[in-house]
Amino acid sequence: MSTTRADPAEHDPAQHAPAEHAPAEHAPAERDAAGPLDELTLTGLEVFAHHGYYAFEREQGQRFVIDTTLWLDTRAAATGDDLDRTVHYGVLAEQIASAAQSDPVDLIETLAERVAGVVLAYPTVARTRVTVHKPDAPIEVPFADVSITITRTQGAASTVQEAAGA
């Protein structure tokens, strides 16, 4: 039984892959063959950032709300009550917030890709669904929310730089 607490400042996703799992280069479908994957969900992570198409959005900044679901096998973590065999959601939240607050972009689609990249840096995560909400978007008619939802799979996700041809 693990009784130590992980230090978020020292967390390295690559160090926390369960030993009996295949390395990250294996296709997620192979992981699914062992049984259904579990879902870990982080909902309503709120960050203030300077993304947006318009100059005033980048200058003034605004709220973004991020939801993400991770598909992974948590049996080893549960059996051993071991945080090091799963994803530390507190650390993940900090990593997502940091990524979302850096380097302004025009589109919430780009921001969602960035967040998916953070999540998929964990080799134990087979798939992620990311929703980025922009509740204060500059829309002239009344609305409740605007968002983008993407789903990306370990090993199949291209980075924003690859997509941009860099």
- Catalytic residues, which ones? 134
Q: What are the tokens at 19?
A: 């030993």
26: helix, strand or coil: coil
Length, in residues, of the chain: 166
108-120 vs 89-101: helix crossing angle, rounded to 10:
140
Q: What are the tokens at 141?
A: 């008619």
Q: What are the tokens at 27?
A: 């296709």
Tokens 């605004």 map to which residue?
A: 62
Separation in Å, CA 86 to CA 40, 50, 52, 83, 104: 10, 32, 34, 6, 30
Q: What are the tokens at 98?
A: 């940091």
